Chains A and B, each alone.
Chain A
Amino acid sequence: MDVVLLFTMIIGLLLMGVPIAVSLGFSSIIFLLVFSDTSLASIAQSFYQAMAGHYTLLAIPFFILASSFMSTGGVARRIIRFSIACVGHLRGGLAIAGVFACMMFAALSGSSPATVVAIGTIVIAAMKQAGYTKEFAAGVICNAGTLGILIPPSIVMVVYASATDVSVGRMFLAGVIPGLLAGFMLMVAIYVIAVKRNMPKGIFAGWGEIWASFRDAFWGLMLIAIIMMGIYGIPGVTGAIFTPTEAAAVASMYAFLVAMFVYRDIGPLAPRPAQSVGAAIAGPVEGTPKSLFQAPWALITAFFHRDTRDTLLEAGKLTIMLMFIIANALILKHVLTDEQIPQAIAQAMLGAGLGPITFLIVVNVILLIGGQFMEPSGLLVIVAPLVFPIAIELGIDPIHLGIIMVVNMEIGMITPPVGLNLFVTSGVAGMSMMSVVKAALPFLAVLFVFLIMVTYIPAISLWLPTLVMGPEIIIR
């Protein structure tokens, strides 16, 4: 009964427009003060320890930092150029290239709205020019943009891993095949539609262009390789080199160096001082960047440059937002664990004869609804501590559950009436919400099929992590 009250309060506060973090924290504090003998001082302590006591969560600021350096307009344009060179000559090629670019950018940025903004602003305009309808363009980008949270490195997965104490490395590996599969399914759907409706196709620019654009995009894409090889080791040569947190820190340093000294879109060597991200998206950077030989002092000044500070601040803001929610969710988790709430629900479900399949359907529905309203990380920290113990009780693999949850939230973001990505796309494409919803529907159907596959074929997510890291040991 108390529990029903607790969750009613959380949801009520959320709908009223209370920040997610405060809704969680305030409800939990009230609950603890009324029903237990916990003091406010120990709540403050757990708030501090949420950061100072969680080494895994430390990966979040570093991944965010790495992607902040890498998600400037310049990198997005390089990735798009490479994708168009690869698949632009197929029928519907520009749309397929858009999906491809979203997949690569997703791997760099780890955030769906950010992917839609960075890739969408460029690709939607380009598709319109090439003769596609605006609706088709928006529908494609809106869906492909959601891949951001599924393709590693994904911040949402780090959040899931730390909320449930599973391995971050395993979660990342488990996302690889579903991420590629989802992208592939979208591309096939686009190709089929394109052939049917006789959509435009580009000209094959030749292997030279593929090679040149790859070389240009290489430094950005290397970031993914550094993270993956750092966490899992170079295949056949070394074992794991870094912990995920260390890999993220190394990646952020790498991203900084590439942004400052290789791409030079920002920083002391940039062609124009303080090139804003918006301006870089709007058009090609004018002039050529300076060479390091012209300005060797940049090696030092880069660390103190205004752009460095601004990128650090952007990443800091995002980290603060997420960690504020997570820190409060940990207070809620404390309440749930103390009261043995998930265990009680699990017993009730088992007693009523509900099996794993029914349970997964329930999880699907909760997350599809929740995912429409709420940013994925926020939703995850509320739902994961509640459903995780039940899933273990029912014999569902924790990694598999994590992937299901991530895919669910992806789809929640583009499910009408209020999916977050729909809003973002309507802003980016300058279309009404309703027309974006209509445009996204055919591809939403594709992702729905994908969700069912991921939910009921565990091997899609579990095959790769088991192959690389060996079978998992589940401690009840």
Chain B
Amino acid sequence: MSKRYEPQGRLGRAVNAFEETFIALLLGLMALLTFVTVILRYIFNASIIWSLEVILILFAWLIIFGVSYGFKITAHLGVDAVTNILPRGPRRIAAMIAGAVTIAYAFLLLKGSWDYWAPYAALDRTSGRWFPTGFQETREQAWFVTDQVPPVRWLFGWLEPLINQGEEYEKLPRVIPYVILPVGSALILFRVSQAVMAIARGDRDSLIVSHEAEEAVEEAAASHRAGEDAADIYAGVTPPAGRT
């Protein structure tokens, strides 16, 4: 069973706070932007031309960024019916094999993500079908832009001399939204490796939970146990003001 993730150390807490806030921010922006678009359309009969595309980009960022966080806090769903009935030793072996498979998956995803993103950043793809065996000359696609999103030149203007031969982007170049693919999959690989090492050390049981409310159930079960020990948590305590 999972226990709630607690960040360790100052850096751990800072990174955790960043991840959590970023996830919350992405989802909040998606919801707010959709809501504003709907209101504008139905009440003011106006529209923001780029809103849908931006919402979908935020959606992709939310998921691809968040998957690594999910591995960190052991939130991904799996089937634990079989592994739970195994004795301790075999269960750990199964968890290690599962970890190895997940690392392989993350690695393949990272190679694919790099290969997909690189041409948009005027970089080279890796050669090789399964494993990167080196870099191969790739026709660059840095001039590819998104459909409607404004270029935000004050923020991304420095890209133009770097990858677009100094030409001005009329729309946001695709290299920006797609960058989450290599970044996100590198983070996934990192978090999965960490998790597998924790399993090897015996600090962690598995990579998975069996349903989304596991944490809440444990909380309820814990309060239940506590409730049985002391029928009334206020027994023997002076009631706080306003409570009789």
Contact = CB atoms under 8 A, between A and B. Distances in A.
The reply to whether chain A is a binding partner of chain B is yes
Interface of A: 13-23, 25-26, 29, 33, 39-45, 47-48, 50-53, 55, 57-58, 61-62, 65, 111, 113-114, 116-117, 120-121, 241-242, 245-246, 249-250, 252-253, 277-278, 281-282, 286-287, 303, 308-310, 312-313, 315-321, 323-325, 327, 372-375, 378, 418, 420, 423-424, 427-430
B76 A52 contact: no
Given A19-B102, A313-B24, A424-B213, A44 B181 contact: yes
Given A19-B207, A40-B108, A375-B212, A278 B63 contact: no
Nearest to B97: A16
B224 A428 contact: yes
Interface string B87-116: 000000011011001101100110111011
A26 B78 CA distance: 14
A317 B71 CA distance: 11
B77 A325 contact: yes
Given A55-B56, A61-B59, 13 more contacts: A16-B98, A18-B207, A22-B105, A25-B105, A39-B115, A51-B56, A52-B60, A113-B217, A253-B35, A308-B28, A317-B73, A321-B75, A373-B79
Given A19-B102, A22-B105, A287-B242, A278 B212 contact: no
B211 to A, nearest CB: 5
B167 interface: no
Contacts of B66: 316-317, 319-320
B20 A41 contact: no
B81 A372 contact: yes
A15 B177 CA distance: 36
Given A17-B98, A45-B116, A427 B27 contact: no
Contact of B63 (A17, A51, A420): A51
A430 B217 CA distance: 10
Given A22-B102, A51-B60, A287-B242, A42 B76 contact: no
Contact of A48 (B64, B95, B104): B64
B112 A39 contact: yes
B222 to A, nearest CB: 9
Nearest to B213: A113
B63 A58 contact: no
Nearest to B224: A430
Contact of B30 (A61, A281, A309, A327): A61
Interface string B191-222: 00000000000000011101111101111110
9 contacts: A18-B98, A18-B101, A22-B101, A41-B116, A51-B56, A62-B30, A278-B220, A319-B27, A375-B210
A372 B211 CA distance: 11
User: Most A CB atoms within 10 A — which of B117, B207, B220?
Assistant: B220
B50 to A, nearest CB: 14
A428 B217 CA distance: 6
A307 B76 CA distance: 23
A231 to B, nearest CB: 13
Given A18-B102, A121-B220, A61 B62 contact: yes
Contacts of B10: none
Contacts of B75: 317, 320-321
B79 A374 contact: yes
B59 A58 contact: yes
A39 B129 contact: yes
Interface string B14-46: 000000110111111011101100100010000
Contacts of A309: 20-21, 24
A18 B104 CA distance: 12
B96 to A, nearest CB: 10
Interface of B: 20-21, 23-28, 30-32, 34-35, 38, 42, 52, 55-57, 59-60, 62-64, 66-67, 69-70, 73, 75-83, 94-95, 97-98, 101-102, 104-105, 108-109, 111-113, 115-117, 125, 129-130, 177-178, 180-181, 185, 206-208, 210-214, 216-221, 223-225, 228, 240, 242-243
Given A43-B112, A278-B223, A313 B105 contact: no
Contacts of A65: 27, 31
Contacts of A18: 78, 98, 101-102, 207-208
Contacts of B31: 61-62, 65, 249, 252-253
Q: Which 6 A-B pairs have the closest CB atoms?
A: A40-B112, A44-B112, A320-B66, A312-B24, A113-B213, A249-B34
A279 B12 CA distance: 27
A316 B62 contact: yes
Nearest to B217: A427
A14 B78 contact: yes
B123 to A, nearest CB: 13
Given A14-B79, A253-B31, A282-B223, A48 B181 contact: yes
A52 B57 contact: yes
A47 B109 contact: yes
Contacts of B104: 26
Residue of A13, A23, A41 with most chain B CB atoms under a 10 A cut-off:
A41
A29 B108 contact: yes
Contact of B130 (A33, A116, A242, A423): A33
A83 B179 CA distance: 51
Contacts of A374: 77, 79
Nearest to A271: B242
Contacts of B23: 312-313, 316-317, 320
Contact of B42 (A121, A241, A318, A418): A241
Nearest to B216: A117
Contacts of B129: 33, 39-40
Given A44-B116, A324-B67, A19 B211 contact: no
